[in-house]
Structure 1
């Protein structure tokens, strides 16, 4: 996950790349050249005046300081179609450090309104996919940054039924200095993300570049270059047969084509997962109806007074580790943006993590070091942690400065304020039937609604629906206790986490941490509070001793829905009977290649089982599900999508012979 940032040298106030021995742009001509080479050559303004889709996607190889992106956003805000959304996908192997980006963009005051938004949204420098939504005076643009090798990062996003790019910018360093950016292999990768009519432009007119483009199906031509440069290239993609695509390890996880003729969906459940999903779809221009069983939203597991958004860690660099890290980074960014435009009850006190033992501390330190993100966390001595936290801490800690706490109910309300979302309370969905290409959604009295696209996001209640009753959803008991401040807790300046977690607020202190398997009816609130204090004592004994269990303000217990592998179920719902028949050979040979595509319930999706990490997981999961439904760029790689795929449990059980062959 480590990434090498760009190495810059400033020569007479201009940035020079030490990695490629080349300039970033010519003095005094960066923006006019960007407009000529990319905006005009791709005929963006003309195409936006007569759009053929509600989504326009631009792909760039060589993001640099984002000047092409900012120039494009400026043009988009002036000429965008009324209902259209702009998606901007950009690759960068050596991204700029935040301080270098700020210094560079300061040279373009005419773009200040745009560059300030980019700097605020700019992600930490770790490899992978970073998706952010930027707001330019009410005009929203979705930016997806791929930090890493362009060819590899793009191929990790390719899906048979996924998004396609409308215009390409090739703006890497010159072919002489950076030949890897201009290979036939990369051009073929650009081709598989293109459709007939996709345009492409680049400042380079080198014969090798033109040959690489032509071999991949782009019909290129030399046109007038910018300024004193005689030529540049523009191209248009033509249909190519048998274009090689990235190898697919598990074809069973290829999602089905989306149903987009209505751009309308129903979400079942108004907890964190349901509201986040509704919001993500609404941001893509869809009309969304949310059906909630209870009289109020977020009244079950999502109804705690406060929760923590922190970074769950996993050893190694597998799909779960990627999901944990990027969901945290995505959620922090989204919540900060929401807090600026809504009454979101958010606090950013930072979090101090106290390991249970030296072994755990060393493991976490190695994991965090492997991420290579300097500001994600800091290792603090006991003395430094004591000074920072305000209370006596006996051991080294890990400090997460960006960790936040917020009120889940206020978050769900902020989501549902979107004008494209409607809410219907007291609607307990008990049956889904697919008739005449639509889902008929019914309660005990009869039909409630119809929709071609439905998302099940009602936690354990998904087990009551015929289409999702087979999923191995687990119920874990959790309890949160609120106490008036003691003299010791009043000193606490940051959240604490370990065996238990502590959330200080101005009015009180919240204690949680207890997690038991399905103990809701077997444990009293007093017993749960006693166990929470016992867990807290292992984090900080003085703090636990200062709180009087008989003087609690409140205690709240709920069942949290989780899965056997601790990852949520996010994606299309399979047709169980047909998939059992299709993949029955796995019961006889668990190593049988998964070359067949699964059969799915048309237009039916699920987003459940976020466990105790719903505040950290649900925004990222919702963004992925929205991308799947709208066929737009996803915030995650295919391996993360496969790890979240609901079908994984049916495949697992067949391999382990837990299901009939």
Structure 2
């Protein structure tokens, strides 16, 4: 999962040069003018933006490098939006691939050569992600721009991009190192993926006029035009995608995330549930111009599992690059960026103080050592500390080594939800209604209609079900193997020693630094129990868990409980991954994919039945970590926008996965 960073040197002109390829990242003459000539003008972007009737435009790039092309495109789009504030085109998505990302210092040094881009460069530097394989979604809200920076080999990553039936990409910046220096990139496989992903009429531009590029693009359905090159380069290539036959867009149709009717500005979405999942979706949809009505059966938001005063914030990593680990790592990094923005703007109780996963016994120490030895995860994400360092980081004596997650900490989920809803409210597009329980849902060809217990009726273009454990009582979830789990968290009073705790401690349970004189200590896990009354026996169980795990610490005996506790019900599923995506009618899906039990491949299956109902739920005890990226994925699918996850991770969270597995096994029910 770690990405190898590029090794570079700077030549006499101050231009970065890749040691592995012996090629410059941009022209010695003027990198910024080269980008404007080759990629901005080569794709005719200002004129195409002016003529665009879509709400978003998508650029894809092979070779992020210093980020120069991205910054020039972002600046150009800012200029366009400033001059055309009421234009239908409102958002730019920029998707870039980079096999060997630059380290932050080298990138900053390279970009310092362009004073005209320093404002944009500072915003990129503030969010520049850790070097880790996969997609890093960065939001530049003030510029109406989203950057998806995919780290890894283009030939592995491009086939993993989900694609709507009409295509995804409007314009390509082909900017890898020269074909003579980097022949492994400029292959038929690249050009075939471009054909799969590009909208008919989409464009490309590239600095090179090499024959292998010209022939490969032509064979894949692109018409080629030769234009004058930049500086000392005589020629460059541009062109359009004009295929003779419609390309096959989706390699595994049953899992396609783009079967939902695409939303547009002015459309209306009804969301059921005002916990973290529902609030995240509401914020992200409103900020993209979609009207949202949020329905909550409780008297206020954050009434369920999202209502605990403090929650530990960290990823659950493993010593192998499992789907679960990859989802956790990328969700955590995206959530941290999202929460940084929220906590800067709104009063959210939090402390990104770090998290220590304690090696409190031989088994946990062995797991931690194997995780670090595998060298999968960047040190920015996780390191191993000895007992002395663990004590220093924690602020209390701890005789254990630990996994240190410096970017983690704790937050107040109710405060986060309030901040998300405030942000959505600023758009004027959010309506929140409480004490409103859904009784009946009817999906028609053009909308979804809801009848609630208070007699109110609602109609929307789409419905998102984010009801937490209340999903177990909704007919739409009847065939899904849901697993409600009760959890009780104690609010223990601080003591002189506990008051010195500086980081979140995790073992079989967790203990947070103090908030308002109390520490969160949890949690119990009682399966198939939906009662939320606090129980003395669970308080005793929580205390015992901590005292046994930390028995080598004298201060643990000072833990006392004075009756303050909160119980809630978390929702999970057997594979412990979220449910995020279309929630299709189960009987239709089973009929549609019945041939899978005969061994037919997924690629031969039809697309799922279109639906106006989707879900984001089953976040289990990891909602603080996963909710923002899952909401971003779902709302992007609803908008027909690029998705920030590769295909295998989209499959892992798709609610359809249980139906598909049943059909493959010839089973009728997994519950």
Shorter-chain TM range is: over 0.9
Equivalent position SS for 2:184: helix
CA contact (8 A) 1:495 1:504 kept: yes
Q: Structure 1: how far apart are the matches of 2:462 and 2:250?
A: 29
CA contact (8 A) 1:163 1:633 kept: no
Listed as ranges, the matches of 1:465-476 within 5 Å are 465-476=474-485
User: Which residue does the alignment assign to 1:398?
Assistant: 403
Equivalent position SS for 1:612: coil
Q: Structure 2: how far apart are the matches of 1:591 and 1:543?
A: 60
Question: Structure 1 residue aligned with 2:652, among 643, 655, 660?
Answer: 643
Shift of residue 498, structure 1, vs aligned partner:
1.1
User: Which residue does the alignment assign to 2:522?
Assistant: 512
User: Which residue does the alignment assign to 1:191?
Assistant: 195
Which 10-residue stretch deviates more, 500-509 or 565-574? 500-509
User: Which residue does the alignment assign to 1:633?
Assistant: 642
Listed as ranges, the matches of 1:560-599 within 5 Å are 560-584=570-594, 589=597, 591-594=599-602, 595-597=604-606, 599=608
CA contact (8 A) 1:573 1:600 kept: no
Please state if 1:258 is matched with 2:266.
no
User: Which residue does the alignment assign to 2:131?
Assistant: 125
User: Which residue does the alignment assign to 2:16?
Assistant: 15
User: Which residue does the alignment assign to 1:496?
Assistant: 505
Q: Structure 1: how far apart are the matches of 2:105 and 2:510?
A: 34
Q: Structure 2: how far apart are the matches of 1:161 and 1:416?
A: 33
Shift of residue 501, structure 1, vs aligned partner:
0.6
Equivalent position SS for 1:196: strand
CA contact (8 A) 2:436 2:454 kept: no
Listed as ranges, the matches of 1:415-434 within 5 Å are 415-417=420-422, 418=424, 419=427, 420-434=429-443
CA contact (8 A) 1:572 1:600 kept: no
User: Which residue does the alignment assign to 1:340?
Assistant: 344
Structure 1: 5+ residue runs without aligned partners? none
Q: Structure 1: how far apart are the matches of 2:256 and 2:444?
A: 25
Question: Structure 2 residue aligned with 1:147, among 142, 145, 151?
Answer: 151
Q: Structure 1: how far apart are the matches of 2:529 and 2:478?
A: 21
CA contact (8 A) 2:273 2:294 kept: yes
Distance 1:170 1:592, change over 3 A: closer
Listed as ranges, the matches of 1:471-550 within 5 Å are 471-505=480-514, 507-519=517-529, 521=531, 524-541=534-551, 542-549=554-561
Shift of residue 270, structure 1, vs aligned partner:
0.5
* Number of residues of Structure 1 aligned to a counterpart in Structure 2: 654
Shift of residue 324, structure 1, vs aligned partner:
1.5
Shift of residue 247, structure 1, vs aligned partner:
4.2
Please state if 1:463 is matched with 2:466.
no
Equivalent position SS for 2:622: helix
Structure 2: 5+ residue runs without aligned partners? none
Listed as ranges, the matches of 1:69-108 within 5 Å are 69-80=70-81, 81-82=84-85, 84-108=90-114
Question: Structure 2 residue aligned with 1:387, among 385, 392, 405?
Answer: 392
Question: Structure 2 residue aligned with 1:622, among 596, 618, 631?
Answer: 631
CA contact (8 A) 2:472 2:478 kept: yes
Listed as ranges, the matches of 1:149-168 within 5 Å are 149-161=153-165, 164-168=168-172
Shift of residue 591, structure 1, vs aligned partner:
4.8
- Per-residue deviation, residues 88-124 of structure 1 (Å, max 9, x unmatched): 0000111111222222222223211111111111111
Distance 1:255 1:39, change over 3 A: closer
Equivalent position SS for 1:560: strand
Q: Structure 1: how far apart are the matches of 2:218 and 2:107?
A: 35
Q: Structure 2: how far apart are the matches of 1:238 and 1:344?
A: 51
Q: Structure 2: how far apart are the matches of 1:345 and 1:476?
A: 26
CA contact (8 A) 2:492 2:519 kept: yes
TM-score between the two structures when normalised by the length of structure 1: 0.94
Distance 1:406 1:77, change over 3 A: same
Q: Structure 2: how far apart are the matches of 1:191 and 1:365?
A: 45
Equivalent position SS for 2:144: strand
CA contact (8 A) 1:61 1:150 kept: yes
Shift of residue 291, structure 1, vs aligned partner:
0.9
Equivalent position SS for 1:177: coil
CA contact (8 A) 1:313 1:364 kept: no
Q: Structure 2: how far apart are the matches of 1:489 and 1:573?
A: 46
Distance 1:162 1:456, change over 3 A: farther
Distance 1:213 1:599, change over 3 A: closer
User: Which residue does the alignment assign to 2:58?
Assistant: 57
Question: Structure 2 residue aligned with 1:223, among 204, 214, 227?
Answer: 227
Shift of residue 49, structure 1, vs aligned partner:
1.9
Q: Structure 1: how far apart are the matches of 2:92 and 2:595?
A: 44
Equivalent position SS for 1:370: coil
Shift of residue 402, structure 1, vs aligned partner:
0.2
